[in-house]
Amino acid sequence: MKAAVISAAGLPPVYGDFPDPQPNGTAEVILVAASALTQLTRGRAAGTHYSSTGGYPLVPGVDGTGSRLDGRPVYFTLPEAPFGGMAERTLVRPSLLVDLPADLDPVKAAALANPGMSCWAALRERAKFTRGESVLVNGATGSAGRLAVQVARFLGAKRVVATGRNPQALRALANLGADATVDLTLDRAALEAEFKRQFADGIDVVLDYLWGPSAEILLAAAAKASPEGVPVRVVSIGSMAGPDIALPSALLRSSGLQLMGSGLRSVPLPRLLQSIGDLFMAAGPGRFEIPIEAVPLSQVAARWVAPDAGGRIVFTNH
């Protein structure tokens, strides 16, 4: 079969031939329609992500959409190594399949799955978000953060605050459900003052895609400005602005801050799959806008290393 093939750690994939997967009694063959390029896919392919399995050559792609051999459309995740989603076929355990609604385009589903699961699980599984609470999305101008704003609003957030460094993208978030925005290019004193104002108005949950300097300022502001004894649940989803922060212990002792992460191994896999299934059921026609760049799988080598153009890259077999 044709597939994206990575021959060694750190190398980009090459479009070429790879052995066909064979059903083995515990996993079945899936005919792949689409597979999105995500940071998780890149990290696992390079062997740098904590969930990497190692072993080369391999086919990258931690998830995707397609159909079972009987024609039923499905989403799949975590194919059996060395197979991945970026191929004509892959091998997946039935417990890692989620049925796709008939009206959901498989390319859009592939684009939605990873960022949608991350924010849906962060809100529902980790933060235990309830309708009527307020949410701040730190790093909302990327495709994942934009989707988080929409999901928070869909799930019943009373108020959604979005942060980012791109003024034009921040303004566009008002049409997607953001009630207020925070410009992260402000100097430190002005940014802390703006965060304090937002937390004084009431923020229950923070979804953080950035970590790094903005998270330091945000946490300090939340500790100082949130009403006494009121918990603020901060969920780390990504670290696009840096892997580490300075966190004085006094911030935790003097506030209701609750810090947690959301991702593989922090939420049981069946619950992550349930989150994806719930997301797909909610993603009716016209709901959850996400920019998509559909790319034929044959162009994987060039597109893997090219700069993102602002859309979720999805490799397709059509």
Residues of the chain with pLDDT under 50: none
Confidence at residue 63, expressed as pLDDT on a 0 to 100 scale: 97
For residue 217, give every residue at least 6 positions away whose Cβ sits within 8 Å of its Cβ, in sequence order, or none. Answer: 188, 191, 192, 195
- For the stretch 212-238, pLDDT in tens is 999 999 999 999 998 877 899 999 999
Pair of tokens at residue 13: 């994939």
- What domains lie within the chain, and their CATH numbers? 2-104+284-316 (3.90.180.10), 114-261 (3.40.50.720)
C-alpha closest to that of 9 among 50, 51, 42: 42
Strands 28-36 and 312-316: antiparallel
Confidence at residue 51, expressed as pLDDT on a 0 to 100 scale: 65
- For the stretch 233-282, pLDDT in tens is 999 999 989 999 999 999 999 899 999 999 878 899 999 999 999 999 99
Confidence at residue 45, expressed as pLDDT on a 0 to 100 scale: 82
Angle at 282 between CA 276 and CA 287, to 5 degrees: 115
Confidence at residue 52, expressed as pLDDT on a 0 to 100 scale: 66
The number of angstroms, rounded, from the C-alpha of 182 to the middle of its chain's C-alpha atoms is: 21
Contacts 24+ apart (CB under 8 A), 265-271: 265/50, 265/51, 266/126, 267/121, 267/125, 267/126, 269/96, 270/95, 271/121, 271/125
Length reported for the chain: 318
